[in-house]
Amino acid sequence: MRIGIGGIWHETNTFAPGLTGLEDFRAWQLAAGEDVLERYAGTRTEIAGALDACRWLGAAPVPLLAAAALPSGTVASEARQALWDELLGRLAAALPLDGLVLALHGAMVAEDREDPESDLMAAVRGVAGEIPVAVTLDLHANPGRGLLEQADAVVAYDTYPHVDPYERGAEATELLARLSATGERPHVAWRRLPLLTCPVEQATSEEPMASLLALVHGWEERPEIACASLVPGYPYADVERLGFTVVACGEATAAEECAAALADAVLARREGFRRELASPEEAVARALAAPRGPVVLADVADNVGGGAPGSSTAILDALLAAGAESAVVVLWDPATARAAADGSGPGELLASRPVAYRRTGSYMTGQWVDLGLCSAVRLGGVEVVYTTRRLMPFDADHLRVLGIEPAERRIIAVKSAIAWQAGFGDLAAEAIYVDSPGVCTCRLETLPYRRFTGWGDTARPLP
C-alpha cells in the first residue's frame, strides 16, 4: 500500500498587516520529497504521526510536500501558487497511490482565494481522482464546504493547547488505510453553528470544551462512527465561513445523528464560553498581590500563535509603572535586539546571542526554532527578552537558553491565549488573562469584518 503524505499549513489573520510570502514558509517549515522524512523525524507533528503510522501498518509512505508558516497575514498569491504547483506536481508524479493524507490548517486565506483549502481539495481531486483522502485540521480551522464535501475523512486536533497533532496524523492514516483496504467511504456530516468564540475561551481542559470533548469520545466508541471532531474555529479571518463547526465521519445515518447531537450540545453550552479579562494595570496589581508565583499574564490580543506580532508593550508598561520585580517579558523587536547587542539599547544587558533549539515541551515537540539574535536586558525589576524572529511561547526553552529560569520568576508575560499552558502550565501558580490591544482581541465586535455577514442574535460573540 502506497500512501501519499503532504500538507500546506497556515493560520491566516486577515486583520494582521502585510502578506505572508514564500520566504515565510521557507523560514519556518518547508520540505519536499525525501527531505520530509528527515525534517519531521522525531517530531510530534501530524506529518510525523502519518509517517510512523505507515511504518507500523506496513504501508509505504510517499512524502510529497510539507509546508507551514507562522500564523500571520494573508498569504500572497505567488506563495500560494508556488506551493500548490509543488504539491500537485509531486502528487501527479507519485501516482498511482492507494490514498492520500493531507495536513491542512483549515483557516488559510490567500490574496486570490478566500477558501484556498477547499480549492486545493478540488485541485487534488483533479489530479488524483477518487483515491481516498484523509485530512487533518487544526482545532482553530474554519473548514469550507468544499473541503468537507470532498474529503473522505476529516480529523481535527482534540486538544488546545494542541498536544495531539501526532496522534491525529496517525489516526487519519490508520483510517485511510482501512478505507483503502475495504473500499468503504464514510459519510462526512457537519454543522456550522452561528457562534464565534475567542481562542482564550476554547481550552479543552476547561469547561465547556472539556465536557463537549467527552461527548465526542463517547460517540467515537460507537462502531458506526469512524471519527468526530469539535472545531471551534478561528475568528480573526474575515471570511464567510466563520463559526463553530462540528464534524462526524462514519455510517451516514449515525454520522448525521452525531453531528446534530454535538451541535445541540455546543449551543446548549453557549453561555459557558466566557472568560473574564483584566486590564494590564489590573492584571499587574493582581499578580503583585498574589501569595506566590509564577503568575502568568496572558497577552491574548497580541497572541503570536494567532497571527499577532508579539510586540505590544502594554503589559511591560504596566509592570514598569507598578515597579514590579522578578518579572519577565518577551517582545518581538529586531531593532532593539540588535541595539542591545551593540551596547546602545535600553537597560542593563544580561545576555545577547543567536538562539536556536529543538522544542522539548509537549507542543510541537522536536521542531526546530530559530529566533535569530536575542538580547535579554533588565529594565528596573523586569527582564525583557527582545527577539529578531517572532516566537510562539509553546515551551520554556527560549527563556532557559538565555539563563532565565521561569520557575524562579514571580511574573511571566506570554504572547499567547491558551497554548502557553503547554510550556508553563506546570509552573504557573495562577494565570490572569489580559484585555490588551491587538489584532487577536476578544472584543470581536470591534474588528472590521466585511466579508463575514453572519451576525445575528446567536452569532454575536459573548461580551
Domain contains 205? no
Q: For residue 315, how many other CB atoms are within 10 A of its CB?
A: 28
Q: How high is the pLDDT of residue 389?
A: 95
State whether 299 and 156 are in the same domain: no
State whether 303 and 425 are in the same domain: yes
% residues pLDDT > 90 (the chain): 90
Domain contains 203? no
Residue 186, by phi and psi: left (phi above 0), alpha (psi -120 to 50) or beta? beta
Domain contains 137? yes
Domain contains 130? yes
**In angstroms, how far apart are the furthest CA atoms of the chain?**
68
Q: What is the mean pLDDT of the chain?
A: 95
| Dist. CA 260–CA 190, nearest whole Å | 8
State whether 183 and 63 are in the same domain: yes
Query: What's the predicted TM-score (pTM) here?
Result: 0.94
Question: Looking at the predicted structure, is the pLDDT value of residue 55 above 70?
Answer: yes
* Helices 252-268/209-220 angle, 10° precision: 170
Domain contains 315? yes
Question: Looking at the predicted structure, is the pLDDT value of residue 458 above 50?
Answer: no
* Three-class SS state of 277: coil
State whether 285 and 416 are in the same domain: yes
- Strand 225-231's sheet: what is its strand order? 187-193, 244-250, 225-231
Q: Count how many domains the chain has.
A: 2
Q: What does the pLDDT average to over 414-442?
A: 95
| Dist. CA 310–CA 316, nearest whole Å | 12
Q: What does the pLDDT average to over 9-27?
A: 97
Grid coordinates of 171? 489516526
Q: How high is the pLDDT of residue 369?
A: 86
CA angle 180, 181, 186 (to 5 degrees): 55
Domain contains 371? yes
State whether 8 and 141 are in the same domain: yes
Q: What does the pLDDT average to over 218-236?
A: 97
State whether 155 and 291 are in the same domain: no
Question: Looking at the predicted structure, is the pLDDT value of residue 113 above 80?
Answer: yes
Three-state DSSP string of 372-414:
EEEEEEEECEEEEEEECCCCCCCCCHHHHCCCCCHHHCCEEEE
Q: What does the pLDDT average to over 6-19?
A: 97
60-93 pLDDT per residue, tens: 999 999 999 999 999 999 999 999 999 999 999 9
Question: Looking at the predicted structure, is the pLDDT value of residue 25 above 70?
Answer: yes
Q: Is 407 exposed, middle or buried (0-12, 13-18, 19+ CB in 10 A)?
A: middle
Residue 177 is part of a domain; what is its CATH number? 3.40.50
Domain contains 317? yes
Q: How high is the pLDDT of residue 459?
A: 45
Domain contains 26? yes
Q: How high is the pLDDT of residue 455?
A: 61
Q: What does the pLDDT average to over 132-148?
A: 97
Q: What does the pLDDT average to over 310-337?
A: 98
| Dist. CA 124–CA 88, nearest whole Å | 7
Domain extent, residue 375, equals: 280-441
Q: How high is the pLDDT of residue 367?
A: 80
Q: How high is the pLDDT of residue 83?
A: 98
Task: Give the dihedral sign, CA 141/136/361/348.
Answer: negative
More confident residue, 457 or 348: 348
| Dist. CA 359–CA 235, nearest whole Å | 28
Compute φ and ψ for 310, nearest 5 degrees.
Answer: 75, 30
Q: For residue 19, how many other CB atoms are within 10 A of its CB?
A: 16
| Dist. CA 196–CA 30, nearest whole Å | 32
